[in-house]
């Protein structure tokens, strides 16, 4: 269920008045669509990873870089309100990471991504991952031009989050249940969180992962590699038809 102009875009940043829908994020969507076209031209798969703060995004990306960094050329954009700590952690494992400091803004916007991309050498890049600012509210409304949105839900958060923050799960293609190694010790039921997420988005895929034990990381990396191959095949096909 790859995004084109994102079928769920109507769920983001719009209001209805006198039977007319007014898009409040038109400028963001314009830039996002330009990013999407540039990624398609280059054959780069772009993933937007979202979650609450502390759900394990950076640790997951460290393990991802360790496992597939030799198979695909990957770059990572990291969004945080302050500090470069997460980008530094990713560089420690050999990942090419650039920090976007939002200065208090609780989400990344397409213009931030566009400006960051202007400073990056994208030649030969296969996979661009954006680690969004940690919260389940604001980032749900902002298309960044990604092919897929992946949302982490940690076992430490409780299994009731999809119904509390439905827009994030509606606009995600994959849900990663992170910190799965803690399941024996927490009142978190995977079947409950999956049922709630699929009541909002029946097509959402689910993988249980633990960056500590390695559970599910092979499936996660395979998911990424398969979609990198699909994106590059689509780009080659489009170029041969041009």
Domains defined for the chain, CATH in brackets: 23-227 (3.40.50.300)
| pLDDT (0 to 100) of residue 24 | 62
Over the stretch 118-168, which tens digit does the pLDDT of each residue have? 999 999 999 999 999 999 999 999 999 999 999 999 999 999 999 999 999
Give 23's pLDDT tier (boundaries 50, 70, 90): low
R_g (Cα) of the chain, nearest Å: 17
pLDDT greater than 90 at residue 3: no
Average confidence (pLDDT) over 65-70: 96
| pLDDT (0 to 100) of residue 242 | 74
pLDDT greater than 80 at residue 10: no
Average confidence (pLDDT) over 89-117: 93
pLDDT greater than 60 at residue 22: no
Give 241's pLDDT tier (boundaries 50, 70, 90): confident
189 pairs with which residues across the strands? Answer: none
**pTM above threshold 0.95:** no
């Amino acid at each position: 269920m790859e995004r084109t102009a994102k079928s769920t875009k109507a769920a983001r940043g719009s209001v209805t008045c006198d039977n007319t829908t007014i898009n409040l994020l038109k400028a963001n969507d314009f830039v996002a669509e330009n990013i999407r076209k540039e990624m398609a031209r280059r054959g780069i798969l772009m993933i937007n990873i979202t979650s609450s703060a502390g759900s394990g995004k950076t640790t997951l990306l460290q393990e991802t870089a360790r496992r597939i960094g030799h198979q695909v050329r990957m770059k990572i954009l990291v969004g945080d309100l302050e500090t470069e700590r997460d980008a530094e952690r990713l560089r420690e494992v050999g990942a090419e990471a650039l920090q976007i400091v939002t200065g208090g803004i609780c989400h990344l916007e397409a213009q931030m991504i566009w400006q960051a991309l202007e400073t990056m050498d994208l030649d030969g890049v296969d996979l661009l991952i954006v680690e969004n600012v940690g919260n389940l509210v604001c980032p749900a409304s902002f298309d960044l031009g990604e092919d897929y949105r992946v949302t982490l839900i940690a076992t430490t958060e409780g299994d009731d989050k999809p119904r509390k923050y439905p827009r994030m799960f509606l606009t995600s293609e994959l849900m990663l249940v992170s910190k799965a190694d803690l399941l024996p010790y927490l009142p978190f039921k995977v079947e409950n969180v999956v049922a709630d997420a699929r009541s909002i988005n029946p097509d959402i895929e689910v993988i249980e992962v633990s960056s500590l034990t390695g559970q599910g990381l092979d499936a996660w990396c395979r998911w990424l590699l398969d979609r990198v191959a699909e994106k590059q095949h689509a780009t080659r096909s489009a170029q041969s038809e041009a």
